[in-house]
Structure 1
Amino acid sequence: MRPRGFSVVICVYTEERWKDIVEAVASVRAQSLPAEEVLLVVDHNPVLLRRLAEEYTDFPEVRVLANAGPRGLSAGRNTGISAARGAMVAFLDDDAVAGQDWLRHFDKGYDDPAVMAVGGRTLPSWASGRRPVWFPEEFDWVVGCTYLGLPPGRVRVRNVLGGNASFRRTAFDAAGGFAIGIGRDGDRRPLGGEETELCIRLSRALPHAVLLIDDRAVIHHKVPEVREGFGYFRTRTYAEGLSKALVARSVGAGRGLESERRYTTRVLPAGVLRGVRDFLLGRPGGAGRTAAVVTGVLAAAAGYAVGSVRARRGGPSFAVPAIGPAAGAREEAR
């Protein structure tokens, strides 16, 4: 079967990540299955927009676009989707490096016409060179990575994780784009959940759609030192609770929290027991990991409670944009 064309969308927002952005683009250009194009979507930063346009002026497969919507990751992704020329649209974080066969493994998943999305495995690349001894693997989602508790192999899932994911372009025609008002929007609070909401909405629009994760589609996500600290851990878990409240408001708590219930009742208790065991055996970090799991659960629960109250009081609103036609839907920076 002939490989499908992939448009890879990388959303960027700050010159502080210049080196990371260049490395992310290089990893896509080095794929064993070449991408049809790389779309760099710049989030309301004219200086970075011009600099990237100049950097890639001699690379026709790299297109530099301005976010055509409000500030934030969801609008940036929607801009990339609307401009995409490929039959498949893949997303890569701006501070991640894709493995050489990343797109090839995505592509294999689409041999089944029922498959509408394929995600991959995201591994942390710690700035300090090693995982903090107190940091539980069950909470690797805090730093945008695949966490302990997800099933291995190529498996069907409720939702893929946005920084390492791909969709058929037609999935957005059926379900619309990423919701504006969920996820990161330029605020310092590290919200998320926009890919979960989209995937649930996609499954409702196309009841027979299959969503997969293939853990051979690997990327390495850089974790800066500021995110290795307990303060960020606590802030991010609280923000996740806020995000889940918005997701539940959009798609209902039953579907919106389906995976989270299993995670909370099965995966996290096992993590606590491992931490206690390691502590009793005198292994480093056992007590810290146990405390982190408990803190993470409490912080997320508090965030969810606050977010639910805000939603009932008419809190932050969100909108699901329709996605326009592909191939040149947005003006480029050059």
Structure 2
Amino acid sequence: MPPPTRTAVVICCFTPQRLDDLRAARASLSHQTMRPALVIVVVDHHDDLFALLSAELEADTVVVRNSGRQGLSDARNTGLRAAADADADIVMFLDDDAVAETTWVERMTAPFAAPDVVGVSGFAVPVWDAPGRPGWFPDEFLWVVGCSHRGLPDDGGAVRNPVGCAMAFRAEALSLAGGFVTELGRVGSSTAGCEETEVSLRLTAQASGSVIVLARSARVHHRVTSHRQRLDYFLRRCRGEGRSKAAVSRRHPGAATLRTERRFVVVTLLDATIRALGEGLTHLRPAAFARAGVVVIGLAATVVGYVGARIRPERRPLTTPTAMSHAHGYRAGAAG
């Protein structure tokens, strides 16, 4: 497989309330050490926002409407189709409230020189709005606010869950896999997720030996608003993650589907609890005891969401991914 030569970056947006964030995200792509060939902004079913962005953004930015079902999954699929129409080799996804460091595109693209790499996860650093990061918030649960958490592998290591605010895929492979399923993913400000996990399972299954890797130096700075700093949001997001993981396990039955989660619980969360309790006992720090407690209740909320969804599945209909018509060249089994 030849190395990629043409990169498109997709930014999905759904509300004017994040317009300043979107402007900052787009501006960060104009100062890259490796400029993307194309920037695509997908507006998710908001006509006024579409009109505003069409008039405002630079001429080298393509602004399109989500042509599918409302929600992040089909917004990303719309961006994927636009990237494929532009003959992009690599399609990258940047959240509308994330700012890329100047080397982000270059360092996200570099791992694709290896023919077995079908996807890359960047590294998302939280930027906390006032009042700031709560003392009870564990590093291991930074995924709750869409950021990279403690327990991830070393740079270049294989991952199963790319961080949604900063990820990249071979456009042909993602098109062949059918893109993101609309059963999963956020609609507006909901707490659903796991569409990245589900598509990663399909991507790595369709070509023998293919992997998704972590690029720790490909950093973005992801905004964490004040409402996402509250314990009630933390617990709702954990429950939402559990429900979404249940949907993934229904799609991909088998003991291996949740292997990453089991290891995270047994290794990472157990270590986090022990370390926090040790810090609390050694230094008499109430925040450390609080972090240990939040690890436990966060895990419990996730399990409750998972079990509840297994017993009573959500009503969002199952969809069957099919290869998009723009897949041009990539073939299952051709990763080598």
Which TM-score applies when normalising by structure 1?
Answer: 0.92
List aligned pairs for 1:83-94, cutoff 5 A: 83-84=82-83, 85=86, 86-94=88-96
Say if 1:229 and 1:159 are closer, same or farther in 2 by CA, change over 3 A: closer
Specify the alignment match of 1:136 in structure 2: 138
Consecutive unaligned residues of structure 1, counting only runs of 5 or more, are 328-334
In 2: Cα distance, 1:87 partner to 1:254 partner? 33
Report sequence identity in percent.
37
**Residues 1:234 and 2:235 are matched in the alignment:** yes
List aligned pairs for 1:297-308, cutoff 5 A: 297-308=299-310
List aligned pairs for 1:88-103, cutoff 5 A: 88-103=90-105
**Secondary structure of the corresponding residue to residue 251 of structure 2:** helix
In 2: Cα distance, 1:40 partner to 1:174 partner? 22
In 2: Cα distance, 1:265 partner to 1:276 partner? 17
State whether residues 8 and 35 of structure 1, in contact with CA within 8 Å, keep that contact through their aligned partners in structure 2: yes
State whether residues 118 and 204 of structure 2, in contact with CA within 8 Å, keep that contact through their aligned partners in structure 1: no
Specify the alignment match of 2:293 in structure 1: 291
In 1: Cα distance, 2:182 partner to 2:4 partner? 32
Please list the CA deviations of residues 98-152 of structure 1 after superposition, one character each: whole Å capped at 9, or x if unmatched.
0110011112101111211111110100002642110000000000000000012
In 2: Cα distance, 1:160 partner to 1:151 partner? 12
Specify the alignment match of 1:77 in structure 2: 76
State whether residues 248 and 257 of structure 1, in contact with CA within 8 Å, keep that contact through their aligned partners in structure 2: yes
List aligned pairs for 1:101-180, cutoff 5 A: 101-128=103-130, 130-180=132-182
CA shift for structure 1 position 203: 1.3
List aligned pairs for 1:1-334, cutoff 5 A: 4-56=5-57, 59-84=58-83, 85=86, 86-128=88-130, 130-186=132-188, 188-280=189-281, 281-311=283-313, 315-319=315-319, 320-325=321-326
Consecutive unaligned residues of structure 2, counting only runs of 5 or more, are 329-336
Specify the alignment match of 1:331 in structure 2: none
Which TM-score applies when normalising by structure 2?
Answer: 0.92
Aligned letter for 2:98? A
In 2: Cα distance, 1:326 partner to 1:54 partner? 31
Number of residue pairs the alignment of both structures matches = 322
Say if 1:129 and 1:87 are closer, same or farther in 2 by CA, change over 3 A: farther
State whether residues 245 and 304 of structure 1, in contact with CA within 8 Å, keep that contact through their aligned partners in structure 2: yes
State whether residues 161 and 196 of structure 1, in contact with CA within 8 Å, keep that contact through their aligned partners in structure 2: no
CA shift for structure 1 position 154: 1.6
In 1: Cα distance, 2:146 partner to 2:74 partner? 19
CA shift for structure 1 position 258: 1.1
State whether residues 13 and 44 of structure 1, in contact with CA within 8 Å, keep that contact through their aligned partners in structure 2: yes
Please list the CA deviations of residues 64-98 of structure 1 after superposition, one character each: whole Å capped at 9, or x if unmatched.
00000010000000000001021100000110000
State whether residues 133 and 284 of structure 1, in contact with CA within 8 Å, keep that contact through their aligned partners in structure 2: no
State whether residues 159 and 200 of structure 1, in contact with CA within 8 Å, keep that contact through their aligned partners in structure 2: no
